[in-house]
Amino acid sequence: MSPSSRQSRAALDELKKAQQAKERRSRLAFIGGISAVILVIAGVIGVTVWRDVSNRPTLDAVKTFDDVTANHVTTPVSYEQTPPVGGDHNPVWLNCGVYDAPVPNELAVHSLEHGAVWVTYQPDLPADQVQKLVDSVPDEYMLISPLEGLSTPVVASAWGHQIALDGVEDPRLAEFIREYRQGPQTPEPGAACTGGSDGSTTEGTGMEQPTS
């Protein structure tokens, strides 16, 4: 091979090496750019989640009641809490929904056993506040009714758990519902909250007596 040919070959090899090095740098720059974008996105998501969690109202005021009984009885029950958070109850559950008059405790407690959250309010709560309360809660597995003897304007109850609230706009209400509606404390999650009693009687509504 002549000297000129060797020089041309060497020049070509150097050109290839330079091109390959440039391609490697481009790939590394592309990967680095993608990684930076992913890190930025992950950071934004992390900050958003952190802000959401940190801004959520705490449920430190929730009272928990252990060893709640769950027997079926057809007689009136004297409950320790107002409203009750569990205990012996009627074999018939209360249909979930909104009630404008007090409902039988023995029926409502059965609905709590099925995973409902029962929101009670003082009977003298203004009508516009009651409507705001109704509009603010989910449609399923919820009971809303007035009740005498509440210590605060609104009280939210789930099976074995209860929180006294300052009013219908108390942000802890939504958090309580999120935590306890069909929550892990539910003895019979997913059981019916329809097809029971409309609250006018504790004897059922002409259906076959449920067994759960």
Which of 50-54, 147-151, 195-199 has the least mean pLDDT? Answer: 50-54
Q: What is residue 207's predicted lDDT score, i.e. its pLDDT?
A: 37
| Mean pLDDT, residues 120-134 taken together | 97
Q: Is 108 exposed, middle or buried (0-12, 13-18, 19+ CB in 10 A)?
A: buried
Q: What is residue 44's predicted lDDT score, i.e. its pLDDT?
A: 72
Q: Is 190 exposed, middle or buried (0-12, 13-18, 19+ CB in 10 A)?
A: exposed
Q: What is residue 13's predicted lDDT score, i.e. its pLDDT?
A: 67
**pLDDT tier for residue 138 given thresholds of 50, 70 and 90:** very high
Residue 125 has pLDDT above 70, yes or no: yes
Q: What pTM value is reported for the model?
A: 0.71
| Mean pLDDT, residues 14-33 taken together | 76
Q: Is 99 exposed, middle or buried (0-12, 13-18, 19+ CB in 10 A)?
A: middle
Q: What is residue 7's predicted lDDT score, i.e. its pLDDT?
A: 66
Residue 40 has pLDDT above 80, yes or no: no
Residue 210 has pLDDT above 60, yes or no: no
